[in-house]
């Protein structure tokens, strides 16, 4: 009987266990490599050899070396990683934005309050140039705060542009690497064995790509994968990779957009269909959060500028001229603010009109407030008088007649008088029939002491100027809006990060390396190798015995 089957059994057992030892050693060596999937040797029993006494086994064959891989868990880990990356990128930018909308000293709300408080002080001492100078200084402080905020918003936008540029470059590099991996995998597929390390590398590249953009992968029969983004846009197909490019947003050139190049023509990707990834998070922040913040600041700056300038125009300076504009806005962004006045005498503290009651009046009516509503006045330099009379109906009411219109209008106590010369007049008390109230141009001698327009400037502090809210309340609302966005993003980031960590844990538990298990297998295969070597040793001893017997 030949000894070759026994020698063959031993050799095959040695080869199989050596392959298992080599694969286990490779697993141990790559235990810390990100994306490496545990490999294992697949063994198959060699077909038995038939003899008259039955089938005798012919040992074991090494069928393949496979990797421990779960396609679903790999896809899930990539998808959850994309969401976590998106939320993390948006949160980081919102935290930067939150530093602009700060409460207390140093905030826009405080600077606005300080300006109107300075107007109050100017109203109490309209002839004091130092009070006027303080008002100009507070106006400069407010303009400086708006300019700082505008610069900070631009800096954040520049940061978004830079981050998007880096992400686009990474996406293009990863897409090319995935396309190259596809080509190599397809080429090696003809060998009949899986290219485990290349498959791991491709999965790792797709995982890295998912951090930048959420992707959909479709496996092709030839072993390559197609990678699609943005609701079906091709990024990688076989060995071909498309290119992304950063372009100006069509609706707002100051913002950035991401486009897929179709030849030389860019096709802009809609941020709403990108799903997840850092790029989606940055675009969502830019197009929603940052745009809303810019609009809020722009609205505040516009309302402050318009309200103060309009009220300035309704008053008179110490030079008896109509008040010039105090602020100007940067037309490029609507937020950068400039103070136009340097001389405190140009602040229009005086009203161009003054109201007085006739000495012959019999009623208790007195002037409570005169508010100029038109600039310039419809009838500059003209006086207007109101004469009261008993109304025909109701018997308890009155009528008043303007000297400029000659029209009798009904009036009840508490109601403001509407002047034809662009003002409203609020009176206290009750007039008697025949009583007269005169509204005359403010004489030059009274300009220094008149505070009518300064009071109106100070009253802007409590006026509903921004969406039915005061400027202070509007600023508080803006801070609350940014704060809520940041808190919401914080919660979303914590949740998506936890989900991504759990998904990666599930994937790694399936495909990762457990060093304790590998150490146990190492001992197992070592013992099997030694046993196989013993088979060869026995076969050699038998062969030697046969040779010695034959020699005798």
pLDDT digits (tens, 9 = 90+) for 479-515: 999 999 999 999 999 999 999 999 988 888 888 888 8
pTM of the model: 0.84
* Same domain for 177 and 235: yes
Lowest-confidence segment of 63-67, 331-335, 425-429 by average pLDDT = 331-335
Give domain status of residue 308, yes or no: no
State which residues form the domain around 108: 75-292+474-503
Does one domain contain both 43 and 83? no
57, 99: one domain: no
Confirm whether 469 is domain-assigned. no
Do both 256 and 402 map to the same domain? no
Judgement on whether residues 40 and 124 belong to the same structural domain of the protein: no
User: Are both 53 and 96 inside the same structural domain?
Assistant: no
pLDDT tens-digit readout, 154-187: 999 999 999 999 999 999 999 999 999 999 999 8
Residue 487 and residue 539 in one domain: no
The last residue of a domain, from among 503, 522, 541? 503
Distance CA 313, CA 324 (A): 6
Residue 449 included in any domain: no
Domain co-membership, 170 together with 282: yes
DSSP string for residues in 174-226: HHHHHHHHHHHHHHHHTTSS--HHHHHHHHHHHHHHHHHS--EEEE-TTS-EE
Give the per-residue pLDDT at 453. 93
Residues 92-131 have pLDDT tens digits of: 999 999 998 888 777 888 899 999 999 999 999 999 999 9
Q: Are 112 and 217 within one domain?
A: yes
pLDDT at 1 (0 to 100): 45
pLDDT of 396 reads 62
Domain count, the chain: 3
For residue 25, pLDDT over 60 is answered with: yes
* Token pair 């948006």 in the structure block, residue: 90
**Segment 412-437 mean pLDDT:** 92
What span, in angstroms and rounded, lies between the C-alpha atoms of 305 and 349?
17
Give which of 189, 170, 109 is closest to 145, Cα–Cα.
109
Kindly state whether residue 95 falls inside one of the protein's structural domains. yes
Q: Residue 316's closest CA among 197, 412, 206, 444? A: 444
301 lies in some domain? no
451-475 residues labelled b (16+ CB within 10 A) or e (exposed) = bbbbbbbbbbbeeebbeeebbbbbb
> Has residue 120 been placed in a domain?
yes
Q: Are residues 535 and 490 in the same domain?
A: no
Q: Which residues are CB-neighbours of 180 under 8 A, at least 6 positions away?
A: 239
52 against 511, higher pLDDT: 511
- In terms of Cβ atoms closer than 10 Å to its own Cβ (0-12, 13-18, 19+), residue 91 is buried
48 and 119 part of one domain: no
Using H for helix, E for strand and C for coil, what is the string for 415-476?
CCEEECCCEEEEEECCCCCCCEEEEEECCHHHCCCCCHHHHHHHHHHHCCCECCECHHHHHH
For 320-345, the DSSP string reads SSBPPP-EEE-TTTS--EEE----GG
Q: Which is nearest to 352 in space by CA: 444, 442, 426? A: 442
Cβ contacts of 255 within 8 Å, gap of 6 or more: 157, 248, 249, 286, 287, 291
Band (394; pLDDT cuts 50, 70, 90): low
* 324 found inside a domain: no
Contact 111, 142 (CB under 8 A): yes
Distance CA(426)–CA(542), nearest Å, equals 127
CA distance 241 to 413: 80
What's the CA gap between 109 and 482, in Å, rounded?
15
> Residue 485 domain-assigned?
yes
CA neighbours closer than 13 Å in the CB half-sphere of residue 135: 31
Separation CA 289–CA 286 (nearest Å):
6
Residues 482, 484: Cα–Cα separation, whole Å: 5
Q: Is 96 exposed, middle or buried (0-12, 13-18, 19+ CB in 10 A)?
A: middle
Cβ proximity of 273 and 283 under 8 Å: no
Same domain? For 10 and 89 the reply is no
Q: Are 211 and 87 in contact (CB under 8 A)?
A: no
Fill in the DSSP letter of residue 269.
P
Whether the per-residue pLDDT at 393 is higher than 60: the answer is: no
C-alpha span between 327 and 69 (Å, rounded):
66
Distance of alpha carbon 140 from alpha carbon 111, whole angstroms = 10
The pLDDT of residue 490 is 95
Confidence label for 31 from pLDDT (cuts 50, 70 and 90): confident
- Those residues with Cβ within 8 angstroms of residue 144's Cβ, 6 or more apart along the chain or in another chain: 111
- Cβ atoms within 10 Å, residue 441: 18
What is the arithmetic mean of pLDDT over 253-270?
87
397 pLDDT above the threshold of 80: no
Q: Are 194 and 159 in contact (CB under 8 A)?
A: no
Whether the CB-CB separation of 503 and 94 falls below 8 Å is answered with: no
Are 8 and 505 within 8 A, CB to CB? no
Give kind and range of the element (H or E) at residue 274: none
> Quick one: pLDDT at residue 513?
86
Does position 290 have pLDDT exceeding 70, yes or no? yes
């Amino acid at each position: 009987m030949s000894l070759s089957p026994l020698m063959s059994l031993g050799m095959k057992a040695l080869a199989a266990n050596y392959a298992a030892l080599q694969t286990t050693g490779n697993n141990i060596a790559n235990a810390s490599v990100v994306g490496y999937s545990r490999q294992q040797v697949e063994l198959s029993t060699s077909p038995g050899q038939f003899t008259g006494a039955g089938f005798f086994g012919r040992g074991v064959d090494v069928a393949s070396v496979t990797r421990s891989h779960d396609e679903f868990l790999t896809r899930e880990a990539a998808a959850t990683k994309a969401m976590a990356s998106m939320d993390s990128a948006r949160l980081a930018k919102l935290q930067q934005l939150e530093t602009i909308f700060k409460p207390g000293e140093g905030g826009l709300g405080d600077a606005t309050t300080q300006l109107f408080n300075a107007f109050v002080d100017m109203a109490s001492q309209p002839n004091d140039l130092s009070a006027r100078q303080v008002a100009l200084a507070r106006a400069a402080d407010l303009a400086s705060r708006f300019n700082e905020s505008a610069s900070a918003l631009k800096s954040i936008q520049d940061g978004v542009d830079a981050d998007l540029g880096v992400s686009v470059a990474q996406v293009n590099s990863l897409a090319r690497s995935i396309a190259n991996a596809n080509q190599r995998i397809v080429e090696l597929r003809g060998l009949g064995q899986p290219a485990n390390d290349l498959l791991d590398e491709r999965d790792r590249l797709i995982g890295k790509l998912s951090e930048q953009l959420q992707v959909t992968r479709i496996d092709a029969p030839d072993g390559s994968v197609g990678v699609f983004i943005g609701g079906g846009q091709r990024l990688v197909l076989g060995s071909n990779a498309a290119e992304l490019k950063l372009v100006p947003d069509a609706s707002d050139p100051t913002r950035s957009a991401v486009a897929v190049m179709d030849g030389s023509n860019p096709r802009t990707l809609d941020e709403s269909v990108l799903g997840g990834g850092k790029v989606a998070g940055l675009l969502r922040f830019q197009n929603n959060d940052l745009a809303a913040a810019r609009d809020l600041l722009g609205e505040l700056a516009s309302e402050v500028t318009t309200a103060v300038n309009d009220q300035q125009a309704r008053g008179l300076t110490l030079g008896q001229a109509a008040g010039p504009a105090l602020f100007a806005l940067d037309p490029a962004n609507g937020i950068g603010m400039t103070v136009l006045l340097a001389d405190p005498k140009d602040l229009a503290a005086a009203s161009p009109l003054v109201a007085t009651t006739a000495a012959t009046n019999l009623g208790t009516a007195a002037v409570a407030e005169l508010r100029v509503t038109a600039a310039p006045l419809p009838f500059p330099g003209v006086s207007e008088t109101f004469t009261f009379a008993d109304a025909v109906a109701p018997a308890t009411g009155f009528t008043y007649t303007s000297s400029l219109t000659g029209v009798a209008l009904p009036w009840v106590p508490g109601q403001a008088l509407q002047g034809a010369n662009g003002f409203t007049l609020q009176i206290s008390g009750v007039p008697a029939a025949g009583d007269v109230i005169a509204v005359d141009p403010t004489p030059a001698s009274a300009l220094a002491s008149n505070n009518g327009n300064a009071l109106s400037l100070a009253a802007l502090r409590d006026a509903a100027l921004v969406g039915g809210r005061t400027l202070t309340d509007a600023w508080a609302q803006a801070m609350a809006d940014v704060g809520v966005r940041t808190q919401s993003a914080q919660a979303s980031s914590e949740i998506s990060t936890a989900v991504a960590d759990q998904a990666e844990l599930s994937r790694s538990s399936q495909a990762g390396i457990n060093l304790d298990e590998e150490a146990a297998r190492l001992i197992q295969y070592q013992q099997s190798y030694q046993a196989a070597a013993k088979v060869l040793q026995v076969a050699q001893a038998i062969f030697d015995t046969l040779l010695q017997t034959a020699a005798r």
